[in-house]
Amino acid sequence: MDLRARCAIVATSIALAGCGGSESGGAGDTERPLRQERLSPAEARYVEQLDALCREGDEIAARVKGEVDGLKRRLLPKAEMSERVVALLDESYVESDAIRDRIRALEPPSRKERFHQRYNELSDRLVALNKSGRDSIARGARGGDLLPLRRRANRVIRQRGALVADHGGFRYCG
């Protein structure tokens, strides 16, 4: 398989580490206009806290994507490229798992409890898909083998985006 095609698939999957789920992985790319909804002070505080954590996740994804892009420009041998990408993903999981733990620890107001639960469920599915992709890369999977995984991840990203769109105040979560 063409190394560049393989790297492109890997790079697009990296966005899963971030909360925003942006396909490009750039922190600014996931910013969305605020949806106007009347929020209580507690809800506004919760939305602000969650959104800040999502932005941190997006920044991790953008950084890792930039590092992978740098590796792509070097045109490394396939085995070395896979090894380095897996190492970058492993490093990002430490940071993104810590952010997910902080998100779980948030105490949503009663009106946001179901949202919080569903957001975490969808985030867990994205992480599982991302780690499955990482394992496939480590085993030397071909790019075509990763496409079904990417499609499933895109479905979850759309579901999470729709969930967030139904709740007001978010700029980075999605």
Q: 91-144, pLDDT tens digit by residue?
A: 888 888 999 999 999 999 999 999 999 999 999 998 888 888 888 888 877 666
- Per-residue tokens: 45: 């505080």
**Least confident segment among 1-5, 65-69, 76-80:** 1-5
pTM metric for this prediction: 0.77
pLDDT of residue 53: 92
pLDDT of residue 40: 87
Read off the DSSP letter of residue 28: G
Domains of the chain by residue range: 3-21+37-165
Q: 114-117 long-range contacts, Cβ below 8 Å, gap at least 24? A: 115/163, 115/167, 116/46, 116/50
* Model pLDDT, residue 50: 92
Output b/e per residue, 69-101; b: 16+ Cβ within 10 A: eebbeeebeeeebbebbbebbeebbebbeebbe
pLDDT for 14 beyond 50:
no
In angstroms, how far is CA 12 from the centroid of its own chain?
10
